[in-house]
Chain A
Amino acid sequence: MPTVLVVDDDPDIRDIATMKLEQAGLEVVTEADGEGGLAAALELAPDALLLDWMMPRLTGIEVCSRLREHPQTARLPIILLTAKAQEADIERGFAAGATDYLVKPFSPRELVARITAVLARGTK
């Protein structure tokens, strides 16, 4: 069963994403901040990472950049989930290595569809 790591400091988002992804038959692991997310991504080698941008300790963008520098996670599908919706933000997200970008407020169904799509592409 593919594993998705969900990293968001908002417990509501973590709960909703977990419920929806589990409903779609995926295994989910959650972390509440960037540092924990980075460590979990390197340790667990998940099949996809759902990553918030604005988080304590380490931002999603920093986590994303660091994971891209690591050979083990260089090709890990990373979906940024963020309230930052400006064109420049989206550009910055992709420049940091994000595979896909979802803007908050978000549709949990769309989230599942996007994660399923990146998993199907098997870019890991």
Chain B
Amino acid sequence: MNAPLPLLEALTALSGLLSVLAIATTACKVQRALRLRRHRRLEAAARPHVLRVLADDERSGSAPEMNHSLGRTFEELSISLLPKLRGADRDALVAALENRGVLERARRRTSRSGAVGRARAAQLLGDAGDEGALPGLARLLADRDPEVRTVAARALGKLGPTAVEPLLAALDSPRPVPAGIVTMALVHAGAAGADDLTQGLDLSRSARVRTVAAELLGQLGVLSATGRLAQTLADDPDLATRAAAARSLGRLGLPEGITPLLAALHEAQPSVLRIDAARALGRIGGASAVAALRELLVSPDIELARATAEGLAACGDAGVSALEAAAEAPVSAPSAREALARLTLSTSRRPAVAA
């Protein structure tokens, strides 16, 4: 029995369409494979030029003349190496990119319309540690695209201390950068920006800026900020900022932090502040810290009692003796027993050092 004519026509059309699709797919795959092969060939040709720049002891960043495609691949390869290197060799690559006009193009691209282009430019300028790009990157912190703002913040962090002030200001921008991103960027910028961070504690700044500044001064180990942090702990109107100052005083570990922390431990103070102060005192240690913490082991505030016990456990032999005495007392302190149990557990879990 013969198939009806329209069905045959439809089948013919369908098979024709499938053939065209198959040919198009194969052509695409071949084209992609050829493009990849060409890219690999160019990369293999560019790699020795990049290595030659790194081998140059004079760090001139001079690279030989290259045709357009090879030059582009040389630039891409050099850019991809920047985050992997530091020191004089990285500087040589940056000089090579500067000589080829790559950084200047990136500086201009920070003002272009495409968000992807702006973000890529920001990332490159950060990886290159290009201080000349600071104004452009600072401007991108208020970019309409949140991804660009994030990339710009990370890039600024790589520029070092000069980036501290614009990064702190970004916390109060109408288009803010998440505090976590700014904090990480500031950590990257390092302790050399301590002066600007300390100024961030000034009461003329927002509470958000003061809190981040207080936290970072401790994390970055800025010992010279101890006095200013003590003042913030005592006087700042914002509780989160005071708590951050307490934690930082503990991290810094100087005895000058003990008196303001003891004051923050007073029962008139908010519970969250007392908890941070107790832990911070434990980090610093000393007889007066142990004596004050011992009193709070039986506090009806369970979190405070627990933080106090943790603090004592960190105080060394004197703190552990206080915990043992509290654990065996007629009115036993559960927090003391818990801290002692944790201490035993952590000691037994400590990895053995290979011989």
Contact = CB atoms under 8 A, between A and B. Distances in A.
Size bracket, chain B contacts: 10 to 19
B180 interface: no
B54 A92 contact: no
B54 A97 contact: no
Contacts, number: 54
A68 B81 CA distance: 32
A105 B89 contact: no
Contacts of A104: 84
Contact of A16 (B85, B352, B354): B85
Contact of B87 (A10, A12, A95, A108): A108
B88 A109 contact: yes
Given A105-B90, A110-B87, A15 B354 contact: no
A16 B84 CA distance: 10
Interface string B63-107: 000000000000000001101111111100000000000000000
Chain A contact residues: over half helix, strand or loop, or mixed? helix
B331 to A, nearest CB: 38
A107 B54 contact: no
Given A15-B51, A19-B55, A105-B83, A95 B353 contact: yes
How many chain A residues sit at the interface, stated as a range, is 20 to 34
A107 B353 CA distance: 28
B47 interface: yes
Nearest to A16: B54
B174 interface: no
A50 to B, nearest CB: 14
B112 to A, nearest CB: 28
B114 interface: no
Nearest to A65: B354
Given A20-B54, A107-B89, A12 B84 contact: yes
A19 B84 contact: no
Interface of B: 47, 51, 54-55, 80-81, 83-90, 351-354
Interface of A: 10, 12-13, 15-16, 19-20, 23, 65, 68, 91-92, 94-97, 104-110
Report, nearest first, the 3 A-B pairs whose CB atoms are least far apart. Answer: A107-B87, A105-B86, A108-B89
20 contacts: A12-B80, A13-B84, A16-B54, A19-B51, A20-B55, A23-B55, A65-B354, A68-B354, A91-B351, A92-B351, A95-B351, A95-B352, A96-B354, A104-B84, A106-B86, A107-B88, A107-B89, A108-B85, A108-B87, A109-B87
